[in-house]
Amino acid sequence: MSNIVDPLVRQIATRVRTERERRRWTLARLADASGVSQAMISRIERGESSPTAVVLGKLSAAFQLSVASLLALAEAEGAEAEAEGEGEGEAGAGAVQEGTGERAGQATGVRRAAEVPEWRDPGTGYRRRQITGPHFPAEVAEIRLPAGAHVPYPAAAFAFVRQIVWVLDGHLTFHDGDTVHELDAGDTIELGEPSERAFANTTDTECRYAVVLTRGTRP
């Protein structure tokens, strides 16, 4: 068994376990609610397996969270852990300024591209970057969908959110329940009531799109 060293995978592992324990669910209950096996959930929580986009969607749906929310929470935990680690060191040029929440010499809210972790689906090669930070009132993610990839999500993954999909490059085949939308660069679709949905790239080139969502009632 290979060791998973990707920091974001470890953060996802911690977040899944935290969400399960927050609800006082056993592995068996989460498995029943999500349709993901107990063995797989256990491996994910131990950081021994990186969940695919489909598995992550099922777990998010069981928690009544969007995939974007689950990943944003995981990233936030990683950032907080990193900040705590830095806070234990000596004060200096990299120290956080007291009462400002920003590093010396840096503008508030600046996130460099190289600092934003990218999550990669080991099953399809789907890549996702969380553009907004955990305290921003909307969640924005950038997704790169490889040629031939097909990523389905259950309806519960879209509960409690208002969401827009905006195609930036390429062509996206979007399945919204029984309806199929063919979307080109510049096209957007605002999602309505939750339904089973799938993102597919039926072309031979990568598709890049953004997902923008706001949360309604938090479970």
Of these ranges, 1-5, 108-112, 166-170, the one predicted with the greatest mean pLDDT is: 166-170
Query: pLDDT by residue (tens digit) across 23-35?
Result: 999 999 999 999 9
Query: pLDDT by residue (tens digit) across 114-172?
Result: 888 888 998 899 999 988 877 788 889 999 999 999 999 999 888 878 899 999 999 99
Q: Per-domain residue ranges for the chain? A: 7-72, 117-215
Cα–Cα nearest to 147, from 214, 70, 203: 203
DSSP letters, 104-143, are TT--TT---GGGS-EEE-TTT--EEEE-S-TTSSSEEEEE
Q: How confident is the model at residue 9 (pLDDT cuts 50, 70, 90)?
A: confident
Q: Is the pLDDT of residue 94 over 60?
A: no
Mean of pLDDT values over 172-197: 96
pLDDT at 161: 83
Are 125 and 195 in contact by the 8 Å Cβ rule? The answer is: no
pLDDT at 186: 98
Token pair in block for residue 184: 């080109």
Dist CA 65 CA 158 (whole Å): 8
Are 156 and 61 in contact by the 8 Å Cβ rule? The answer is: yes
pLDDT at 204: 97
Query: pLDDT by residue (tens digit) across 38-87?
Result: 999 999 999 888 899 899 989 999 998 878 778 777 777 655 555 455 44
Whether the CA torsion 202, 206, 212, 216 is positive or negative: it is: positive
Dist CA 62 CA 216 (whole Å): 17
pLDDT at 169: 98
Global pTM reads 0.76
Token pair in block for residue 88: 């234990």
Residue 164: strand, helix, or coil: strand
Are 111 and 54 in contact by the 8 Å Cβ rule? The answer is: no
Neighbours of 188 (CB within 10 A): 12
Q: Tell me the residue type at 82.
A: E
Whether the CA torsion 25, 27, 29, 30 is positive or negative: it is: positive
Mean of pLDDT values over 191-206: 95
Question: Which whole-number Å values give the CA distances from 177 to 158, 188, 203, in the listed order?
Answer: 12, 17, 21
Of these ranges, 2-6, 58-62, 202-206, the one predicted with the greatest mean pLDDT is: 202-206
The architecture (CATH level 2) of 7-72 comes to Orthogonal Bundle (1.10)
pLDDT at 108: 63
DSSP class of 170: S
Does domain 117-215 correspond to CATH entry 2.60.120.10? yes
